[in-house]
Amino acid sequence: MPASVVLGAQWGDEGKGKAIDQLAEQSTWAVRFQGGNNAGHTIVVGDTTLKLHQIPSGVTYDHCNLVLGDGMVIDPWVLEEELDRWHELTGERPEGVRLFISERASVILPFHRLYDGADKVVGTTGRGIGPTYRDRTERVGIRFADIAGIVDDEQALSAQAQRMTKQLSTVGVEEAIDSSSLKSDLQWILDRFGTAIKPTGVMVDIALRNGENVLLEGAQGAMLDIDQGTYPFVTSSVTSRANATHGAGIHPGHVEECFGITKAYTTRVGNGPFPTELSLEEGPGQHMAQIGNEYGTTTGRPRRTGWLDMVALRESNRINGYTGLVVTKLDVLGGLDELKICVGYEMDGKTIHVMPTTSEDLARCKPIYETHVGFPSLSLDEWIEMADSSRNEGTGFDAFPDVIKQYIERIESLAGIPVVSVGVGPDRRASVASKGGPFDFPSAEATF
């Protein structure tokens, strides 16, 4: 069976966790292929809310194997916290049983967090992601496969500690890394996760050859891609479809489906240009922030809010070639008299339909909007009743009122991508799938 990819189609925080959680029911493997604990995926099942940062969102299904892939940078201490919370909730210890860490993934150490904390420009999460990727690129970083060889090599430990201390001093951090503490940290990682460190690329390749379904899970979003995003206000990895198989350790020929996840509006965390940005103090921007609970899962920072940006979404599709679009948080727009969609930009008196390359140029762009009729606010129970009706009666988007169907159809038309699912609340059940589409299957009960 082919692999499927789930990607953020905006600036992150689009609701990937929920979509991955839904698709994982049909999968035997869920693989994170890039990023680290700068990601935050939230899954709501009934009264239980899970906030995941490194563990793949397929964790909620006990038949689904979990991989922290080759292209990731992993903080072992954060991973232990996540696993401890999962154990408290379910009694399960999946590490080494159905959760595996790629031996090719890079290790985030205390040094990386200290170095990242000195950033005052990009507005990173401070989790050490960028410095760890930098170490990998410079070929001085430590991968999980390297730990056993380094931990008893005093010369290698001393060289690493000296390098780290020197680099901290260059960014004004007056803290020394000593080789004994580095050795202690590495030994703990080996003792705690040794049974889970595996050649995961080989394992996933075998699964695909055996006809199993594999779900490749992205973090962040397309507009935060290090190469294709709004540089320099981006993340430190390639977030796109092109890296999904590479970061998982398999070849791209395995992928047939690629789902882009977009909110029915737009949000952004951190610094950088945001053409459709609205005020958080009043009006629709405040409405989106409050009703949508727009605070970062990882950092708790308030997200900037704005209208749906089709220029950015088409750019995202150009890079990734989505076979289906999942529109999330449509319910948040309920209660607004009118809805707007950005269909182009005005820059220096000219109309453009492609994002400029530089952030300086993008910051000068003014959105060109088309306006649509709004729809009433509904309670979560009412939205779930609508979603259940769609599933039980097989009506797809016909379960929606005409005004909502027209909004969805306009998104499809402008994006050039079929909408395959629409989220109308945080709960797993609060989604309406296109009739006969890839999300059109019964909602599973929780296994925890």
Q: How far apart are CA 429 and CA 448, in angstroms?
A: 16
Q: Are strands 308-309 and 338-347 parallel, antiparallel or unpaired?
A: parallel
Three-state SS annotation for 139-176: CCCCEHHHHHHHCCCHHHHHHHHHHHHHHHHHCCCCCC
When mean pLDDT is compared across 34-43, 52-61, 130-139, 366-375, the lowest value belongs to 34-43
Q: Are strands 366-373 and 338-347 parallel, antiparallel or unpaired?
A: antiparallel
pLDDT of the residue at 49: 83
Q: How far apart are CA 90 and CA 308, in angstroms?
A: 38
When mean pLDDT is compared across 105-109, 184-188, 440-444, the lowest value belongs to 440-444
Q: How confident is the model at residue 46 (pLDDT cuts 50, 70, 90)?
A: confident
Where in the chain do CATH 3.90.170.10 domains reside?
3-73+201-433
> Whole-model pTM above 0.75?
yes
State the CATH class of domain 106-195.
Answer: mainly alpha
**One of 21, 41, 53, 112 is an active-site residue; which one?**
41
Angle between helices 310-320 and 241-248 (to 10 degrees): 40
- Region 264-268 average pLDDT: 97
Q: What is the pLDDT of residues 294-311, one digit of tens each?
A: 987 666 778 999 999 999
Residue 121 has pLDDT above 80, yes or no: no
Q: How far apart are CA 119 and CA 285, in angstroms?
A: 28
Residue 186 has pLDDT above 90, yes or no: yes
Q: What is the pLDDT of residues 306-339, one digit of tens each?
A: 999 999 999 999 999 999 999 999 999 999 999 9
Residue 444 has pLDDT above 80, yes or no: no
**One of 13, 70, 75, 427 is an active-site residue; which one?**
13
Nearest to 372 by CA among 345, 423, 416, 333: 333
Higher pLDDT, 442 or 216: 216
Instruction: List, in sequence order, every beta strand (DSSP E) within 213-268.
Output: 214-217, 255-263, 266-268
User: What percent of the chain is predicted at pLDDT more than 70?
Assistant: 97
The domain covering 3-73+201-433 belongs, at the CATH homologous superfamily level, to Adenylosuccinate Synthetase, subunit A, domain 3 (3.90.170.10)
Q: What is the pLDDT of residues 89-120, one digit of tens each?
A: 999 999 999 999 999 999 999 999 999 988 76
- Region 176-201 average pLDDT: 97
pLDDT of the residue at 122: 66
- Region 418-428 average pLDDT: 95
Active site residue 13: yes
Average pLDDT value for the chain: 94
pLDDT of the residue at 428: 86
Q: How far apart are CA 187 and CA 174, in angstroms?
A: 25
Non-local CB neighbours of 320 within 8 Å, separated by 6+ positions: 7, 9, 222, 240, 241, 258, 260
Where in the chain do CATH 1.10.300.10 domains reside?
106-195
Q: What is the pLDDT of residues 3-42, one digit of tens each?
A: 999 999 999 999 998 898 899 999 999 999 999 998 777 7
Q: What is the pLDDT of residues 217-227, one digit of tens each?
A: 999 999 999 99
Active site residue 41: yes
